[in-house]
Structure 1
Amino acid sequence: MSNRALLLVACGAPLAARLGDGVQAAYERGWDPYVVPTDAALPWLAEQNLGGVPVIVGNRKPTEPRRTPAADAVAVVPTTFHTLNAWATGNAYSYPLTTLCAALGSRTPTVAVPYASQELTGHPAWPASLTVLRQAGIRILDAHDGSPTSLEPMVPGTGSQVVDGFRWDWVFEQIDVATRIRESG
């Protein structure tokens, strides 16, 4: 155990098929990962080797203790149109969304990798939500190339190329940046 807790939130999109790689990358970088999937992400995780990390689903009962330590960082890989918009507007109606809203409110270093189609990213809520999250300090990366400054929508038929080309290094580099920003003040 490293005493550095990383919450890996996953939503239901093809990039969730790489969460096992994210768990391994977290261990290699000295993090203790905890997986917090949305209900829609669970089928994507079913056949993956998650290295025995805790997978936190559903809300806890009032008599149950907290299931994760306080997060030192959060990575949302992938985040969907649905979750990103709910998060930006403070809708904490599920455990993953409560986790994300709490991370935003506590200024926990957070990196998000959106995965949404051209049709969905054309909705007016999308750019507004991205702006809210970026202004709150969330590091948002393009799933195609890891860019923190541009964001391309998913083009139909290219999902497997994006998933295969995705690098967890991009996420951890931005976690490091966000952590340094938080520590500097």
Structure 2
Amino acid sequence: MTNRTLYIVVCGAPLASRAGDGIRAAREQGWDAYIIPTDAALPWLESQDLNGLTVVSGNRRPSDPQRIPRADAVVAAPLTFNTLNAWANGNANTYPLTTLCAALGSRTPTVAVPFAKHDLAGHPAWHASLAVLRYAGVRIIDPHDGSASAVQPIKSGSGDEVSRGFRWNWVLRQLHEDIPG
């Protein structure tokens, strides 16, 4: 069986500290995984064992060849308040946002794990953006328990605890519902 390609877009929040675990879990399930970080996520990745994975950041020059194969699926985990709202509004002004917007436009199966504190998640744009992304077919899962029915905000100061309890199989299970085999 040929491996499938998975892009993991990582934003700057405590769950980014588990990106290496996501790579290992994806590889165990037959994915070739690539990390595409926001600038804010880079410090979270520095101390992780990414199993020799090349982190893909920044736009390529027009004369450069494609750096990675076309995605069969995309994951955004963690997805911060800023990136979620920019994505839902179609802002493609960074490489991670271009990747996410292109996934919507091409109908590539996508799973997102929103990660925002109560004060940000209480902003009306948060709820509107979640609705837009769900309407577009993005599977949204809760970082606390993997639920696809509702997303709970992160209690201030509990981001590390939520991250420790997070299971990458919640994300991969959602992808398998969209892409069997």
Taking the TM superposition and a 5 Å limit, the aligned residue runs for 1:23-62 are 23-62=23-62
- 4+ runs deviating over 2 angstroms: none
User: Post-superposition shift, 1:179?
Assistant: 2.4
Q: 1: distance between equivalents of 2:54 and 2:6?
A: 11
Q: Distance in 2 between matches of 1:120 and 1:66?
A: 36
Corresponding residue for 2:179? 179
SS in 1 for 2:179: helix
Check whether the contact 1:139–1:178 (CA below 8 A) recurs between aligned residues: no
Counterpart for residue 145 of structure 1: 145
Query: What are the Cα deviations for residues 18-44 of structure 1, in whole angstroms up to 9, with x where unaligned?
Result: 000000001100000011000000000
1 CA distance for matches of 2:146 and 2:2?
A: 26
Letter of the aligned partner of 1:58 in structure 2?
A: G
Alignment of 1:102-141 (within 5 A): 102-141=102-141
Give the structure 1 partner of residue 88 of structure 2.
Answer: 88
Between the aligned partners of 2:71 and 2:112, the Cα distance in structure 1 is 15
Conservation of the 8 A alpha-carbon contact between 1:2 and 1:32: no
Deviations 1:82-116 (Å, cap 9, x if unpaired)? 00000001000000000000001101010000000
Q: Which runs of 5+ in 1 are unaligned?
A: 181-185
> What is the letter of the counterpart of residue 128 of structure 2?
A
What is the letter of the counterpart of residue 16 of structure 1? A
Q: How many residues align?
A: 181
Superposed displacement of residue 68, structure 1? 1.2
Whether 2:103 is the aligned partner of 1:77: answer: no
